[in-house]
Structure 1
């Protein structure tokens, strides 16, 4: 595949992936939508599938074309109301979306798309070609077609003759032409303005290219000729004189009139034709830099209707009609402060007017308004983020050096200048960091919009009635956070639907509504995002979970009695832990919730569980907005420095003799109304011990659990750039990565979750000296 093919394929993959996600969401919405809204949703589904099929046809992807065609036929009957929206039909259409998604994923992996299951194609063809009820309505349809034919014969133009498949799509084609024409309005105005000509020419080329493909597909020769010439003219505009551009601008407005008239006729299943030879020849001549007769511009005076008469497209009697059509649709550029042109100098193009006159209704956004975003490869953002990370590290180094200069006793003015420059660098780097981080932020809607389909399929599979409520899907997180959050949310939602929500009869017996509700919500909480999954199902049973934990040897009966409910519930995150009486296709193998814990741990996040038996369960996930650059507290242990993520720290205290005691061999500290376990970092790292009372205790929190981490000293807060370590330092150990200190040396980042889990007295690899 050559470079151009590879580029086209990548565009297809990007666009099709977005379309198939939208199709999936629309199909789920369609199933429960009121009948009055089903038509619009069906049209949206049909358009998405048709776009994928058309692009696949351009690339010659036969398996995609064949299957999409079958699914498109079924959708076509659905949107016409010839097939009712039923669970069985929606099952087939959702399976179809999965098949197309799979074919797209195969293409993305460099494989050829596999043909779809013939049984599924046959089922779709049965829907798409079902003639049931056709005979009963044949006479009515014939009468309606006769009436429509008689009415259309009175319209200008010839009857539109297309194959049945293309005729089904004509309404979409008309909408496309109208959208493109609306985009032309501002673009044509901007062509004569030197300041906006380059951008307008580019937009004109894009719009014309789209119209060429549409007109060619429907075999509309006149429309193809006009739009093709517009496409060829666009790149030449920047090299032409103002006089030639002004003459071309009038012809572009005339071309827009032709497009509008053709779209109007196509909506009535008619096609118009004009004698366009002179018009096209003169436009081509102007684009090649050859002026027309010297007095030609004077003859038409910049008026489209006069130009159409001069070029032989319309005759004099039709001029008034042309004038009416043009009024309110597009105006020639006019100066806000008109002034006569200087001798031998063309009139200066003026700023466009605010809006067209007498617009009947708001049209679609213009090309200038729509093009507010651009696609950027993820790799470029990753590179940019890495560079910002290096800049942050160097900023830390400069700030440290400025402090050293200030303490060195050099001239005060020089010291202050150094400190001021370091401060400016710190501020600007922070602003740049925030800006780059925002480019990586994505709304949780990218995940949340997938889950109605998940819940719908589970409900169908288990014969349950489940309603999924989604709140806060516009909440944004870093792309890396989004990726690691995908699997945990699916597992939790499946558990809520399969284990939590009861069968309708059971719910009714318990005085609940037959339909269970699962709520998925997200919101910002400081530097974190809180995601909560709440269901109104049967809740968690302390007795059942505790009994299973004892059976698996995770806890003793004596220890279990002293655990709080949430600590008991947390056993469900252990690998292989399941309370299901039998294994199903959805769950029961004990291989889901441990994935939740693992992925949330990678995000330096926390999970909380609240549940009331018989009423429901809430699982709360707290995750940082980003995991690449974060503030940390630098601490010291046995002359080595370590970093603790700041979001894990609650407070810092200095233990005193009177507040330290021991419970079953575990040192604890009394802090106000609570007792916290003390974990000695030296003990964890196999370093020589020191008495706790001579040191600091950093109170850290993981979920609902708080402990005091005893360290030798505090160095200060610093922004760190996380660098993963693919070696024994992080594998099962108390470190989540490494960073670079202000003095340029390597510093390991403590994994608070692992520190709490690791048994006391278990030495771990340690020290920035070892890492270095």
Structure 2
């Protein structure tokens, strides 16, 4: 069977199930007797096993099967949830994540899981099944429609019926053109496991996992649901031709009330009052597509969204050209049409950008397990709180922000939060608190990492910076508290006595700072010695279409990201003075440097520029620093499509990309960060 067409779906759903197992394992460690959490984990593992077997990824299926056995024993009170069990399961999850990642990279997803499988098998105790009583009143036959029942299964059914459960045999027939039979069967299982206890299947579970059956399989189950509701639940799975539900009677084991639901017919013959009777054509449509009638979402490949974004970027470029043409022709009809197009395209732009936005929880989800491991390795007690995980950010930024956050969180855990005995001596609780939060503000997303640890020891930081030759003792005396805190971002700075495998691992926070600035963001610190620290990261919502200020330097046009500009000024020559041959300006009580772009880019300045009396200046800001960029003219504000400079020009200093203007010319986009170095 050709499965390549299903690979992307498999990868997406595998990651979702692994994340669900990961999240629920952390919950289970805190609530080890919560049967609902255990069942959720079991269902996710069960589904992942079935999908992997169907797709031919045997190592994933084998490892997941052993995990499933462990959770089956846990939910049957055969194994107690302990740190040892949790550690081994987390190791299995790491293996599975690596194998899924391998598949996504075009590899075979194979990994030697022999040793880990042995460790999982050692956890599983021998199940002792109590012998069932052979009382005469157990009238359940050993064979019900081909289901050969043993004594234990008959006893379960007997007790279930006595406690008010219904016993059903559900037979599902798939359509002849069904490709992934195993996957469809497990979708049925997943629907049933939320509402019923599956006692037995025909054929065996392993064969159903592999799709090793004709078109029909059966389930024997106990449930509180009525047979009509069972049908309705299963009907939500696509590629099903027919469903039969047989009630099993304890007294005479007769097969009665057999009702057939044939999805191949446009009008169904069902019992009166059945929920699936009304508006059959509508239900038929939704069921054929494998979704409920209330579903309003679809899964779209990210590459298609990127392609859509690239096409729309071309529309933005042409929109700019049309606006330029409209202004030059002075045609009211054309201007009206272009204005309408601009409004519609702006709305379309907002919609497409929204499609690219994904919740930051995709990054945050990895941290609870990481904190658990770090707490154990460092012998610290740490409580992680996550706030604002639903905050959305452009996928491009999401892909890049993960590693810097990992580095900073490790740094807070290693250097910030103290050991329990040290915290106790300081009058704190033994458990340290780490908060990771995200929120929107304007056109930016803010991420904060807050801890109640030791804070930054500015004297120690300054001494280390002086010792490494990063700053002089005289310069340290003039630093503000905020500037002193930021010394930890200097290249080559570290307070660690030896390289640690926990936080920096020999790499300083300067790498984190550079990465964030490359994304168009910035990072700030608030810290109080003995109380804790807050690291705040500011990031743009999107990196592809930005609002900029177009400026002219001689005959060239440049774009400056508007998010970096505080205001624009027109300065007289007398307002500019020099300090150590550097042009400066008194900006609201702050002496700030002025950078002439014509000089910065080594333009030949003519006589006119030499006797110029007025200068346009764009004041840009980064953190608490200001710089004034001197230009010849301000063209105006414009939304531009940011394009990379490519491999050959990618390392050119001073530019973050380029854009195409309305007249077809190319304008370079300035990187404001370079002017603060």
SS of residue paired to 2:202? coil
Partner of 2:316: 392
Q: What is the match of residue 563 of structure 1?
A: 479
Match of 2:670? 750
How many corresponding residue pairs? 616
Contact kept, 8 Å, 1:157 with 1:271, in 2: the verdict is: no
Q: Counterpart of 1:371 in 2: which secondary structure?
A: coil
Q: Which residue of 1 aligns with 2:387?
A: 471
**Separation in 2 of the partners of 1:491 and 1:151?**
68
In the aligned structure 1, how far is the partner of 2:341 from the partner of 2:375?
Answer: 56
SS of equivalent residue, structure 1 residue 11? helix
The one of 521, 526, 546 aligned to 1:605: 521
Deviation of residue 94 (structure 1)?
A: 0.4
**Do the aligned residues in 1 keep the contact of 2:499 with 2:506 (CA within 8 Å)?**
no
* Counterparts of 2:367 and 2:137, CA distance in 1: 47
The match for 2:532 is 616
Cα distance change on mapping 1:713 and 1:93 into 2, 3 Å: same
Partner of 1:405: 329
Preserved contact between residue 659 and residue 666 of structure 2 (Cα < 8 Å): yes
Match of 2:58 among 49, 52, 62: 62
Cα shift at 1:526: 0.6
SS state at 1:146 partner: coil
1:60 to 1:256, Cα distance in 2 relative to 1, 3 A:
closer
Structure 1 CA distance for aligned equivalents of residues 269 and 350 of structure 2: 52
Superimposed CA distance per residue, residues 414-447 of structure 1 (whole angstroms, 9 cap, x where no aligned partner): x211211110111111111111111111011111
Correspondent of 2:67 among 64, 67, 71: 71
Give CA deviations for 1:521-544 in whole Å, capped at 9, x if unaligned.
111111111111111111112222
Q: CA deviation at 1:150?
A: 5.3
SS of 1:121 mapped into structure 2: helix
Q: Tell which structure's C-alpha radius of gyration is larger.
A: 1
Would you identify which runs of 4 or more consecutive aligned residues in structure 1 move more than 6 Å? 162-167, 206-209, 212-217, 255-258, 349-352
- Superposed displacement of residue 73, structure 1: 1.7
Q: Say whether the 8 Å CA contact 2:243–2:262 is kept in structure 1.
A: no
Q: What do residues 183-216 of structure 1 show as CA deviations (whole Å, max 9, x unaligned)?
A: x9xxxxxxxxxxxxxxxx9xxxx98995499999
In structure 1, what is the Cα distance between the partners aligned to 2:135 and 2:613? 99
* 1:285-309 CA-partner distances (Å, limit 9, x unpaired): x96x9xxxxxxx9xxxx9856xxxx
Return the offset for 1:706. 1.9
TM-score normalized by the length of structure 1: 0.71
Whether 1:103 aligns to 2:99 is yes
Residue 538, structure 1, aligned to residue 483, structure 2: no
Change (3 A) 1:751 1:66: same
Question: C-alpha distance in 1, partners of 2:632/2:482?
Answer: 32
Supply the distance in 2 between the matched residues of 1:108 and 1:216 (Cα, whole angstroms).
36
1:515: how far off? 0.8
What is the aligned partner in structure 2 of residue 345 from structure 1?
none
Partners of 1:732 and 1:554 lie apart in 2 by 26
For 1:594, what is the secondary structure of its paired residue? helix
Which runs of 5 or more structure 1 residues have no equivalent in the other structure?
171-177, 185-200, 231-248, 290-296, 306-325, 335-348, 353-365, 407-414, 758-772
Q: Distance in 2 between matches of 1:99 and 1:420?
A: 60
After superposition, what is the alpha-carbon deviation per residue over 1:434-481, rounded to whole angstroms, capped at 9, x for unaligned? 111111110111111221111111111111111111111111111111
Deviations 1:254-288 (A, max 9, x none): x99975555x88xx9x9975798xx88x979x96x
2:587 pairs with 1:591: no
SS at match of 1:373: coil
CA distance in 2, matches of 1:641, 1:472: 40
Determine if the alignment matches structure 1 residue 715 to structure 2 residue 631: no
Q: How big is each residue's C-alpha offset from its partner over 1:686-745, in whole Å with a ceiling of 9 and x where there is no partner? A: 224657862122111112322222222100001110110125654150000000112111
Residue of structure 2 aligned with 1:218, choices 201, 207, 212: 201
Residues 390-436 of structure 1: CA deviation (Å, up to 9, x unaligned) = 10011011111111122xxxxxxxx2112111101111111111111
- Secondary structure in 1 matching 2:3: helix
* Counterparts of 1:443 and 1:641, CA distance in 2: 37
Aligned residue for 1:748, secondary structure, equals strand
Corresponding residue of 2:303: 379
Show the counterpart of 1:485.
Answer: 401
Does residue 1:29 correspond to 2:35, yes or no? no
Aligned to 2:624: 704
Displacement after TM superposition at 1:45 (Å): 1.3
Kept in 1: contact 2:411–2:504 (CA 8 A) = no
CA RMSD, 1 decimal: 4.2
The Cα shift of 1:668 comes to 2.3
How big is the shift at 1:675? 2.8
| Unmatched segments (≥5 aa) in structure 2 | 158-165, 173-177, 193-197, 218-231, 284-289
TM-score by length of 2: 0.81
Give yes or no for contact 1:660–1:667 (8 Å, CA) kept in 2: yes
Q: Distance in 2 between matches of 1:272 and 1:585?
A: 67
Aligned residue runs from structure 1 range 44-63, under 5 A: 44-63=40-59
Distance 2:671 2:548 in 1: 12
Q: Look up the match of 2:644.
A: 724
Task: Give the structure 2 partner of residue 506 of structure 1.
Answer: 422
1:333 is aligned, of 239, 256, 278, to 278
Partners of 1:636 and 1:713 within 8 A in 2: yes
Partner of residue 146, structure 1? 132
Of stretches 452-461 and 79-88 in structure 1, the one that deviates more from structure 2 is: 79-88
Q: Which has the higher helix share?
A: 1
- CA contact 1:25–1:450 (8 Å) conserved in 2: no
Q: Structure 1 or 2: larger strand share?
A: 2
Residues in 2 aligned to 1:679 and 1:117: alpha-carbon distance in whole angstroms: 60
Deviation at 1:597, TM superposition (A): 1.9
CA distance in 1 between partners of 2:338 and 2:18 (Å): 50
The whole-number CA distance in structure 2 between the counterparts of 1:640 and 1:419 is 27
